[in-house]
Structure 1
């Protein structure tokens, strides 16, 4: 095997379920609709509903793209927690209209809910840049 080949990261069904539950919980706190959450995470409505049930025995398989989306939501949330001291801004920012050139008056949630990875990643980059060197 070549040393340049990268091994694919394999997540267990339990790891996928834990990450998805966390991302769905954050999106709920951001006031995302079910449709927005499903587009952002690229999951079905039924998977979204099962992720909200809090069944400890539930597990799910997610592909690399879906896990990347979960990761971006968790990282946006972490950045917002560093930027803001109060929960109203931490959880309300994603739904607020934003006049930053990239968002162009739309909320970050609206942009992320377009469903493509570029919109989600670029929203993360813009929000993450607000924290400056706080990491």
Structure 2
């Protein structure tokens, strides 16, 4: 999943409207490494934490694709304010852009639960 997952994660984050700083924080990549991997993803050497972050991003995207048919919702959901517990009026992207692993995990759990068993 490493390199192909990283490429997919970059694509998803871009479609979610993330800027470079947000992507770096979410993926836990230092600035120079981020730009190196963006320009040459095949050179990526990812650690377990980064691979897990990528996995959560890919699974969030998959869950959103299952729940929503409209691409505007699939890609726009992460920027929409959410007033459910945990988000407290923040957009999911605002929560995960902190780069905090627990925030990424908790956001993944809540988005994944939207599927409600839908496959």
Tell me the TM-score range normalised by the shorter chain.
over 0.9
- Runs of at least 5 residues in structure 1 that lack an aligned partner in the other structure: 1-14
| Structure 2: distance between partners of 1:22 and 1:51 | 12
Structure 1 position 83, deviation (Å): 0.5
User: Which of the pair has more CA radius of gyration?
Assistant: 1
Aligned equivalent of 1:24 = 10
- Structure 1 stretches of 4+ moved >3 Å: 50-53
Alignment of 1:101-120 (within 5 A): 101-120=85-104
Aligned equivalent of 1:133 = 117
Q: Which protein is richer in helix relative to its size? A: 2
Aligned equivalent of 1:49 = 35
| Structure 2: distance between partners of 1:47 and 1:75 | 24
- Runs of at least 5 residues in structure 2 that lack an aligned partner in the other structure: none
CA RMSD of aligned residues (A): 1.4
Aligned equivalent of 1:95 = 79
Aligned equivalent of 2:26 = 40
Secondary structure of residue in 1 paired with 2:83 = coil
Aligned equivalent of 1:3 = none
TM-score (norm 2): 0.92
Q: How many residues are matched?
A: 119
Could you tell me whether the CA contact under 8 Å between 1:25 and 1:52 is conserved in 2?
no
